[in-house]
Structure formats: C-alpha cells, structure tokens
C-alpha cells in the first residue's frame, strides 16, 4: 500500500511539473544584449526590452518554444519601447510571442516591418504578435513597396494591434501561401484597429490581402474577425481575398472608401459584418463578389453611396476561360439574411460588364459571363427615400434566384423581381448608425435553402432557432451592439483619438516673421499677414497643416517670390496641408507657385487656395512623379500670365497610378496660361481603379493653351470621374477644350464655348493593359 501511494505521489508530481510554466525573465537594453538573449532563449523565456527609443534595430527573433511554454519578447512597459529609424522584426520558429512594441518615426530597411518568417525555408508557426502599434512607418516615397505585416507559416496570429497611415505601395498586411509550409495556414487576424490609410492613387494599397493570383487556388483558411477598419481609403479593395476557404466575421468597416472583395479563390464566408457609410462620400462600398461558393450572411449595410465596383453588394461578371489573375464567373453563391438601410442601388449585378468595349480590348479582357446558380434569400432592404433602381442590372440576371426578400421603397416604383416583396415596415435606431425593424416579419416565412439550418445566429449573435425572421437581425427586442466601442480593438495602452489643441494665430508683419511663423507653428495654426508686401528668395516649406491669410481680405497682402528658376514659393512636403486665403502671389516667370518635392514624398499633401491672385509663374502647380495629393482645391482664384497651369501628369508609366485623388476648380479665372492649363493623367487599363476625380465648375478660360503640344485645354486622359459644369471658354487656341471618356463617369453640361475648339466624348479610350 505504501508503495502504491508513493507511485501515485510521484506521478502526480511529474504531471504537476509538466503543467507548470517555467518563466525565465531576461531584461535587455541594447541590440547586443537582445541578440544574446534570443540566442540563449529556452521554452518559457521572457525577454524584456527596456523602455526607450530603439534606433535602427533589426530584430531577428528566431527560437522555439512550446505550446505551454512559449518564448516571449515584450516591452518593459507596453508602448514605451519605441522602434524607430531603419528597423524591422522577423520571427521564425515555434510558439513565439511579441508584445507591446511601438513602431513609428522610421521605415523598414527590408520588404517588411514584421514578418512571420526568416526566409522561404524557415517560417513561424503557432506564433503571435499582440498589443503592438505600427504608425506612419513608411518608405521614403510611395512607389517603394513593402508590407507592414507579412504572414507565412501556419497558425499565426495578429491581435489587439493598432495600425495606421501606410501611404506607400503594398498591402498593409499580406498572407503569403507560397510553399506547402504556408497553405492551410489557419491564421487569425482579430480585434485589431486599422486606423486611417490615406488613398494612394492607384492599385496595391489594400489593408489586408490574403494570397495572390499565383496561389489563388490554394486553401488558406485565414480568419479575419472582430476588427475595426476605420477610414481605410488606400484603394478600392479594403480586403482582397485571393485564396480559398477564408472567413470574415464580425468586422466593422467604418467610412472606408472601398469594399471587402473575394477577388480570387472560392468558398469564403462573410458573416456578421457592419458596413457603415458616409452619405457625403460616393466611395464607401460594401461587398464585391467574384468566384464560386461564397456565403454572405447576417451582414448590415448602412448609408453606402458607392457605385459599381464599390456598390453595397456588387456581383461581378466574369471572363470566359480567364487567366489566373483575371475575373472568374460568380457561381453557386448564397446571399442570405442581410440588411441594407438607406443604401444607393444596394444590389448591383453584372458589375464590370464590358462587352461594348470589345473593339478596344482583347477577348481575354471581356467580362461577359453572368452570375449563375446564385441565390439571394431572406434579405431586407429599407429606403427612407425611395430608390428608382434598388436593383441595378448591368447585365441579365437570369442566373440568379430570389426568395423571401423584402423591400420598403416608400412607394417608389422600380423594376423588381419575383422573390422581392414590397412591404410597409419601419425601423428604430438602437445605436448610432444601427437601425432595426420595429417588428418581425410574421407574414414572410424565411426560405429554407440547402444548409440554411447551419445559419444558427444573427448579426448580434442571437439564436435563429425557433422564431426565426428574415434580415440580419432576428427579432425587434435587441440590445445595442456598441460596435464603435474602441476598447474592443487594438491595444489598451494606445488611444488613437487625436489630441485636439486650440489653434494659435501668428501675426507676421515682415518677411522674416512670416518665415519664423511657418517654422514654429504647429498643426492647425494660422499665419496672418498684416503688411502690404513680402519678398521671398527661397521656398516656404509646408510640412504641417497651416492656414496663411491676409489680415484684411478686402486688402490682400502680396507675396513676391524671387527664388531660383524651377523652385516653388510653397514647397509641399509629406503631410503638408496648406490653406492659402486672400493673397496676391506673383513670381519671376521662371519659378513655381506650388510644387511637391521631387523625391521622398513619403506621404500625401493637400492644397486649398481661395480668393488668391496668381500671376507670372512658370507653373502654378507642379506635381512630381511619386507625389500624391488627396485634395487640391482652387476656389474664387484668378490665374494669369503663367507659362503652365496645374500639372498632375507625372505618373507616365501606365501602371494605374495618378498624382491626385480629388481636384476641384470652382469659380476661377484662367487667362493667358500657355500650356498644361489643367493636365491630369492616369494611364494603364486597371478596371478596378475608380479615380481620380475632377470637378471644374463656374470657371472661365480665355486666351489659354496656345503652347500646349497636345492641343487639349483640359486634358484628363484616363481619369474616371470628370465633371465640367457651367464654365465659359473664349478665344483659346486649342483643338479641343476637352476629350471625355464616355464609358466612365465623364460628363459636361451648360458650358459656353466660343472660338476655342470643341469638346468631344469618346466612349472607349484606347488604354495600355497593365497585365
């Protein structure tokens, strides 16, 4: 008996020891100590990086822990270990954890900031990056590509991180599947806050890309869950799913100018996501579907104004026998139990149909294959103002079945379908942007399709068993979901809310005071000019948000720029945001009024010019290659006696890039501008790029364009959205006022043209293929 008790005691002790996590904590203060600690790390080791700034540190976290005893690399205090300069992190091995690091004020010296691999042979498995921040960690200019997080291996996780401000080429996060070590990976991307990503002006600016064309037939099984995508405006695809069996659950897409897109690959699940729009933005989208076998269910769409590729629900046409990198036909897709509230043309089918472009595109680019064997069932549409086209048919919808769907269109008639019933019902707002039906739909029996019994919960996680109802929300007695509670996303130590400070006004009565004020001002400050005249011999560097204005708008101060030829009075630097008001600005005839940097434009700039008189410059605005502006606005401004006007045409490699997202010219006067009066260019056939945007309204053009080699006054080749409204063109020595692209959103109305050539529309412009 004693021997038996002894044996039991020994067994219990062994089990207890096996279950105990040994933690050996090692604090390090420099790169040498960090490298030694990693080299000597054993399962259970915790490496603690000392608080402070770690400059130009290339962290190579190669080690192997175990499931019960991972190896951890963490900040002494989360957020107080600042990784800056030329720095990056690569981790490879098993069961590794990275916790609490803050990447900012720098850029990666390699192709990645954080990489779950050493190289193609040694990857990370069962590893985690958590509680970290990457902010504004950009390459020197936007054409230089990198990834901020690259997944390889299997069973890795990125969670509770905050990521903001990527402005250079490349997805923010990419899951790579090349090689057997990285397929069937079951990665998790959850509870992160993806803060604003500015528009890049062209492709390759997704927030998340899962796979690529070359691996699009591989199984990934990546889960993207419970993340906040906050104004992620990089490009038309916020998420680009390019592999099979991925899941997108319970994410919030908040005023993000793009869509969740099943670009390649098949059998994705899109379940329980919120898409919150901005009624003032036509760029905020929902879900765009390509491929086979997707299930889209329990999703909520609110005030989405996106069109075509950014439609609330965009179901695309495919290409017959497509190449692996092109568009596959939509087949065997289920869209069930979703709700659209106050969305413009919420259902769009046959998106991308381009049979009418067969004369300018090869057969391999013609998207003629309509969705087939596809079902829309148990969905709800509510419009507080009737929509004349809630179902937008870009092509025939004969391959789509509709069952037990309901719409309240406020009595406005439209071309409907069998299986979409018009019904009077009301909604109640239970939380900001969240509206639910005030009652169930007892007269509408939910359609019971194949495997619909597997849809067991609604948008809020409530059971669908028993009294089930159509739409994303089952029942009317529900609690508010608090989807914008930011404590659910990102690290608890980081507050992404901008610190609001009262702007300061600097009074400048001399040139030196003007220069000092611009140098010393903070974001949002105002510089007021009180003198009659200022003479500048060197550019004013604009690298922050500033307003420069005359003290008296009726008695404008004059800035005379006498700097060298081909230099600007106002040099727009990364993150420079200038508002110039009520100024007279004159040059020498050889210099520029405004220009970006010639290189190292790591982030965008913005320029707003109002009530300004500009004269005697070589260029009014010169946008150099790789520079990009989100907004360029000229309002109530006169531009006279300049060799060139507004030139945004430096991206000439025809790869879908362009120099500005939005250009607005309103109530302006152009007189004696020799060439490039407005030259705005996007080259390369990339059908999913939906920019830029040009509005010219209420403006006059006289005696302009005589020296323009193109013979076009307003040259907008390749720009998607162009509107020329209520302008006058008089005595301009050009062949064409404008050549508009009819197949895209180019339009002109109420313009007066006298002795200025003509304005033409070409339905299909010949474009160079990018593929």
Mean pLDDT of 344-368: 87
Q: Output the pLDDT for position 364.
A: 81
Mean pLDDT of 722-738: 97
Extended strands (E) in 509-591? 525-529, 533-536, 540-542, 545-550, 557-561, 568-572, 577-581, 583-586
Q: Output the pLDDT for position 743.
A: 82
Q: Output the pLDDT for position 8.
A: 42
Mean pLDDT of 391-403: 96
pLDDT at 512 over 50: yes
Instruction: For 575-630, write each residue's pLDDT tens digit.
Output: 999 999 999 999 999 999 999 999 999 999 999 999 999 999 999 999 999 999 99
Q: Which two tokens stand for residue 640?
A: 């006279």
Q: How confident is the model at residue 481 (pLDDT cuts 50, 70, 90)?
A: very high
Q: Output the pLDDT for position 21.
A: 46
Q: Output the pLDDT for position 596.
A: 98
Stated length of the chain: 771
Instruction: For 688-705, write each residue's pLDDT tens digit.
Output: 667 789 999 999 999 999
Tally Cβ neighbours within 10 Å of residue 616.
18
The pairing of beta strand 434-437 with beta strand 427-431: antiparallel
Distances (CA, A) of 555 to 411, 559, 615, 668, 770: 55, 13, 17, 19, 51
Mean pLDDT of 149-177: 97
Distance CA 213, CA 18 (A): 45
561 contacts 588 by C-beta, under 8 angstroms: yes
613 contacts 585 by C-beta, under 8 angstroms: yes
pLDDT at 707 over 80: yes
Sign (positive or negative) of CA dihedral 485, 489, 494, 495: negative
3 three-state secondary structure? helix
Q: Output the pLDDT for position 516.
A: 97
Mean pLDDT of 355-369: 82
DSSP-derived secondary structure letter, 18: H
Helix (H) or strand (E) holding 516: helix 511-520
Q: Which two tokens stand for residue 73?
A: 């690399």
Angle at 192 between CA 189 and CA 197, to 5 degrees: 105
Instruction: For 433-478, write each residue's pLDDT tens digit.
Output: 999 999 889 889 999 999 999 999 999 999 999 889 999 999 877 8
Instruction: For 71-128, write each residue's pLDDT tens digit.
Output: 999 999 999 999 999 999 999 999 999 999 999 999 999 999 999 999 989 999 999 9
Q: Output the pLDDT for position 19.
A: 41
Distance CA 57, CA 271 (A): 40
Cα dihedral 435, 256, 298, 368 in deg (nearest 10): 120
Enumerate residues 6+ apart whose C-beta is below 8 A from 141. 168, 599, 600, 601, 602, 626
595 contacts 568 by C-beta, under 8 angstroms: yes
Angle at 24 between CA 21 and CA 30, to 5 degrees: 140
pLDDT at 205 over 70: yes
pLDDT at 517 over 50: yes
Distance CA 39, CA 44 (A): 14
Q: Which two tokens stand for residue 523?
A: 């974001």
Model confidence, pTM: 0.92
pLDDT at 10 over 60: no
Instruction: For 335-344, write each residue's pLDDT tens digit.
Output: 999 999 999 9
Extended strands (E) in 188-254? 188-190, 193-194, 208-210, 223-225, 228-230, 237-242, 247-249, 252-254
Closest alpha carbon to 263 in 324, 340, 182, 332: 324
Enumerate residues 6+ apart whose C-beta is below 8 A from 365. 319, 326, 354, 357, 685, 769
DSSP letter for each residue of 134-171: EES---SSTTS--EEEEE-SBS-EEES-EEE---SSS-
Q: Output the pLDDT for position 14.
A: 46
Distance CA 518, CA 509 (A): 13
Instruction: For 529-578, write each residue's pLDDT tens digit.
Output: 999 999 999 999 999 999 999 999 999 999 999 999 999 999 999 999 99
């Amino acid at each position: 008996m004693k021997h038996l008790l002894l044996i039991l005691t020994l067994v219990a002790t062994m089990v207890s020891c096996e279950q105990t996590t040994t933690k050996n904590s090692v604090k390090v203060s420099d790169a040498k100590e960090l490298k030694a600690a990693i080299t000597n790390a054993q399962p259970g080791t915790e490496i603690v990086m000392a608080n402070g700034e770690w400059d130009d540190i290339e962290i190579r976290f190669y080690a192997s822990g175990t499931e019960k005893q991972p190896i951890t690399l963490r900040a002494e205090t989360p957020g107080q270990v600042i990784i800056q300069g030329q720095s990056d992190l690569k981790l490879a091995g098993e069961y590794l954890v990275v916790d609490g690091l803050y990447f900012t004020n720098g850029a990666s010296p390699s192709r990645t900031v954080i990489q779950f691999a050493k190289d193609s042979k040694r990857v990370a498995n069962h590893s985690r990056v958590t509680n970290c921040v990457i902010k504004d960690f950009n390459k020197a200019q936007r054409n230089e590509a990198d990834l901020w997080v690259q997944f390889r291996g299997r069973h890795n996780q990125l969670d509770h991180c905050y990521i903001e401000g990527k402005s250079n080429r490349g997805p923010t996060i990419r899951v790579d599947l090349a090689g057997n070590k990285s397929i069937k990976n079951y990665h998790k991307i959850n509870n992160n806050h993806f803060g604003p990503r500015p528009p890049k002006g062209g492709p390759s600016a997704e927030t998340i890309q899962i796979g690529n064309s070359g691996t699009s037939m591989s199984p990934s099984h990546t889960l993207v869950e419970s993340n906040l995508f906050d104004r992620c405006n990089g490009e038309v695809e916020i998420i680009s799913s390019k592999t099979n069996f991925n899941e997108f659950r319970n994410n919030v897409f908040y005023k993000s100018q793009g869509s969740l897109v099943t670009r390649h690959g098949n059998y994705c699940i899109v379940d329980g996501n919120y898409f919150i729009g901005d009624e003032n933005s036509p760029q905020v989208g929902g879900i765009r579907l390509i491929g086979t076998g997707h299930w889209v269910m329990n999703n909520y769409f609110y005030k989405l104004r996106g069109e075509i590729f950014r439609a609330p629900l965009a179901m695309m046409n495919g290409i017959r026998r497509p190449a692996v990198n092109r568009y596959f036909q939509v087949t065997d897709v289920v869209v069930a139990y979703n709700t659209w509230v106050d969305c413009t043309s919420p259902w769009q089918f046959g998106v991308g149909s381009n049979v009418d472009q067969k004369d300018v595109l090869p057969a391999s680019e013609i998207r003629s294959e309509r969705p087939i064997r596809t079902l829309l069932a148990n969905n709800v549409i509510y419009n507080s103002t009737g929509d004349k086209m809630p179902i937008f048919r870009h092509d025939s919808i004969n391959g789509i079945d509709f069952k037990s769907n309901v719409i309240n269109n406020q009595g406005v008639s439209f071309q409907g379908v069998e299986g979409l019933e018009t019904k009077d019902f009301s909604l109640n707002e239970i939380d900001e942007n969240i509206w639910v039906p005030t009652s169930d739909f007892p007269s509408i029996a939910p359609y019971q399709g194949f495997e619909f019994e597997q849809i067991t919960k609604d948008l809020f996680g409530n059971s669908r068993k028993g009294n089930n109802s159509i739409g994303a929300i089952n029942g009317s007695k529900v609690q508010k979901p608090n989807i914008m509670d930011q404590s659910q996303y990102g690290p608890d130590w980081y507050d992404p809310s901008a610190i609001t400070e009262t702007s300061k006004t600097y009074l400048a009565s001399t040139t030196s005071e003007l220069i000092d004020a611009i140098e010393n001002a903070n974001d949002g400050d105002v510089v007021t000019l009180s003198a009659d005249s200022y003479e500048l011999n060197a550019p004013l560097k604009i690298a922050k948000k500033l307003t420069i204005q005359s003290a008296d708008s009726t008695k404008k101060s004059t800035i005379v720029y006498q700097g060298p030829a081909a230099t600007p009075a106002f040099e727009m630097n990364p993150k420079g945001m200038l508002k110039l008001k009520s100024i007279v600005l004159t040059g020498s005839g050889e210099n520029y009024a405004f220009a970006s940097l010639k290189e190292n434009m790591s982030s965008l700039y913005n320029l707003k010019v109002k009530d300004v008189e500009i004269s005697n410059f070589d260029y009014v605005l010169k946008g150099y290659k790789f520079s990009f502006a989100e907004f360029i606005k000229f309002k109530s401004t006169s531009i006279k006696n300049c060799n060139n006007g507004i030139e945004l045409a430096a991206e000439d490699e025809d790869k879908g890039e362009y120099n500005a997202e939005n250009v607005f010219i309103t109530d302006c006067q152009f007189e004696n501008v020799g060439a490039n009066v407005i030259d705005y260019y996007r080259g390369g056939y990339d059908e999913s790029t939906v920019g830029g945007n040009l509005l010219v309204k209420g403006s006059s053009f006289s005696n302009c364009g005589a020296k323009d080699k193109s013979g076009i006054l307003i040259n907008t080749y390749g720009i998607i959205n162009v509107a020329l409204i209520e302008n006058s063109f008089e005595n301009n020595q050009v062949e064409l006022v404008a050549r508009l692209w009819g197949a895209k959103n180019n339009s002109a109305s109420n313009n007066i043209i006298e002795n200025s050539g003509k304005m033409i529309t070409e339905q299909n412009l010949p474009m160079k293929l990018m593929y």
